[in-house]
Amino acid sequence: MILMRVNTITKKVCCLVLLLPMVTNVYSQQDPQYTQYMFNQLAYNPAYAGSRDVLSVYSLLRDQWAGIPGAPKTVVLCAQAPLKSNNVGIGFEAFDETIGPTNVSGLMGSYAYRIPVKNGSLAMGLRYGFYDYQYNWQMVDYKDPLDPVSMNAQNQQLIQTADAGLYYHTQTLYWGVSLTHLIPQKLVSGNTSLDSVTIKPHLYVTMGKAFQASENLIINPSFLFQAVQGSTSTNINLNFLLDQKIWLGISYRSQYGVSFLMQYCFSEKLKFGYSYDLGLNKIGLHSGGTNEILLQYDINIQKTKTLSPRFL
């Protein structure tokens, strides 16, 4: 059994929870989590690529469960754009996430084909890429010095991933459904198959609707449903756009807690967002919360009208 270098029994238990999916045959949420996913859904759905009709570059920093050693820290860089035909969108995503002695980085490319449907557009998307898993076992102490895992200072594994999705949007509505990790892969973190976990397909369902309450107020409820074998999660969000400049929102995630977010639109091109998660589960209550910073820049490469920020 692996024990992290921490000061209290509670924090040891928390760190064990972080590492558990990597060293046992337990199925749980294996993809990175994002509170501000609604501002760039490419992270979960390749069919979203090009839907903003601009070249959109997006970066995100997430510090989850601040104050707990070994807690997840995630860095993301995304870019997406429509091609000149307007029927095709492409996307690129790179991320790096550290959890305890485990570091995983990913590099993926997305392709989406869009067709007009009634008052909107329906896109079908595919994504392919690679995840690089690295384990640094020198970062941990062992209750049993002869634990077979302790014999490995480091090990590394490269796996491939493939995703597919559908995404429909109008000027006031969107919905999407996607499946990630369609190529089953097994991660082996130790010397035997017992120290392994299978990367399972993840299902994501999103929906959002914009309501114009007044000239200066737009209300945007939305939700995200996530499912993987042995685990489900539902995010319910309520966001408000004031004067086409400031987003304010609150979210509830089942079995986790609540989140608060804000985004400021410096212009049609530049946007800055921040969110804070207040976990109501045992790990969340013993941490300093979760901080997430977002920066987005849009370039109107086709000289068309930039989408209003209400259309996520």
Phi-psi map region of 65: left, alpha, beta (phi>0 left; psi -120 to 50 alpha) = left
Show the CA angle centred on residue 281, arms to residues 279 and 282, nearest 5°.
115
**What local confidence, expressed as pLDDT, does residue 100 receive?**
86
**What local confidence, expressed as pLDDT, does residue 217 receive?**
95
User: 225 forms bridges with which residues in the sheet?
Assistant: 205, 234
Q: Which domains does the chain show, CATH number per domain?
A: 2-299 (2.40.160.40)
User: 105 forms bridges with which residues in the sheet?
Assistant: 96, 132
**What local confidence, expressed as pLDDT, does residue 132 receive?**
94
Of how many residues is the chain composed?
A: 312
The gap between the terminal CA atoms of the chain, to the nearest Å, is 44
- In order of 47, 60, 146, the CA distances from 111 in angstroms are 7, 22, 48
Q: Which residues lie closer than 8 Å to 2 by C-beta, 6 or more apart?
A: 16, 19, 23, 140, 142, 149
Burial class of residue 86, CB neighbours in 10 A (0-12, 13-18, 19+): middle
List alpha helices for 187-270, DSSP H: none
**pTM over the 0.75 mark:** yes
**What local confidence, expressed as pLDDT, does residue 137 receive?**
73
**What local confidence, expressed as pLDDT, does residue 208 receive?**
95
User: 284 forms bridges with which residues in the sheet?
Assistant: none
Residues of the chain predicted below pLDDT 70:
1-30, 142-154, 189-196, 284, 303-312
Give the count of alpha carbons within 13 A of 220, CB side only: 25
Residue 294 near residue 274 (C-beta atoms within 8 A): yes
Structure tokens at 126: 């595919």
**What local confidence, expressed as pLDDT, does residue 21 receive?**
39
User: 91 forms bridges with which residues in the sheet?
Assistant: 80, 110
**What local confidence, expressed as pLDDT, does residue 118 receive?**
82
- Each residue of 81-104: pLDDT tens digit? 999 877 999 999 999 999 888 899
Structure tokens at 145: 């010095």
- Each residue of 245-282: pLDDT tens digit? 999 999 999 888 999 999 999 998 999 999 999 988 77
**What local confidence, expressed as pLDDT, does residue 60 receive?**
96
Q: Other CB atoms closer than 10 Å to residue 179's CB: what's the count?
A: 14
**What local confidence, expressed as pLDDT, does residue 245 receive?**
93
